[in-house]
Amino acid sequence: MQQRNADRTRMRILAAATEEFAARGIAGARVQRIAEVAECNKAMLYAYFGNKDGLFDAVFTAFVDTYLEEVGFDAMDLPAYAGRVFDYFEEHPEHLRLSVWYRLERPEGQPLDAILAVNRSRLDDLVRAQRRRAVPGKFAAVSLLSLIQAIATSWSSMNPEYGTGVPSRALRRRAVVEAVEKILS
């Protein structure tokens, strides 16, 4: 019974921290607010995660794990991958905000193992596909992956001033997939 309560507390802390970090970033997040939303005390938060940076690392690693599980990666079908990335961030805008905060506030910090592993895996898959000539080699693998991810998340980061000029989700998704197809042609 004790372990289950600890797991539930940890999950409540991670959920509250995800919300707080997505809204305010690492610097703006407050441990006290996270503890209040998670219905625990700050000491419990520190016991589980060490400090605010450790908590952010746990939140971001959990996001990466969820993202990988839902989106996957297939170097042989990059347009479909781009469509899944688009769908994921349309459905989880808080995770896109976490990514932005991570890049803004940790540009030269200690890289997270989860990020290093996923990037290495995707780039290795792309290089192998390019060597087999299944994926065009006109862009280096890192450039190609960067372009695909930028295209897939471009609508999520549009200025709100576009307002009614923004097409439907289905049309935005189709534009993402077609743009990646063009890059590969």
Q: pTM for the full model? A: 0.86
Q: What's the CA gap between 115 and 109, in Å, rounded? A: 13
With tokens 């459905």, the residue in question is 91
Q: Do 20 and 37 touch, CB atoms closer than 8 A?
A: yes
Q: What's the CA gap between 130 and 154, in Å, rounded? A: 25
- Backbone phi and psi for residue 144, each to the nearest 5 degrees, phi listed first: -60, -45
Flag whether 34 is in a domain. Answer: no
Query: pLDDT of 129-156, one tens digit each?
Result: 999 999 999 999 999 999 999 999 998 8
Q: What's the CA gap between 142 and 67, in Å, rounded? A: 19
Flag whether 68 is in a domain. Answer: yes
How many independent structural domains does the chain possess? 1
Report the CATH number that the domain containing residue 84 is assigned in CATH: 1.10.357.10
Flag whether 28 is in a domain. Answer: no
Residues of the chain with pLDDT under 70: 1-4, 163
Domain that holds residue 96: 56-184
Give the 3-state secondary structure of residue 118.
helix
Flag whether 85 is in a domain. Answer: yes
Q: What is the pLDDT of residue 108?
A: 78
Flag whether 17 is in a domain. Answer: no
Flag whether 93 is in a domain. Answer: yes
Q: What is the pLDDT of residue 1?
A: 46
Q: Residues with Cβ < 8 Å from 93, sequence gap 6 or more?
A: 156
Q: What's the CA gap between 74 and 174, in Å, rounded? A: 18
Flag whether 168 is in a domain. Answer: yes
Flag whether 27 is in a domain. Answer: no
- Backbone phi and psi for residue 138, each to the nearest 5 degrees, phi listed first: -70, -20
Q: What is the DSSP letter of 111?
A: P
Q: What is the pLDDT of residue 163?
A: 67
Q: Tell me the three-class secondary structure of 153-178, residue by residue.
A: HCHHHCCHHHHHHCCCHHHHHHHHHH
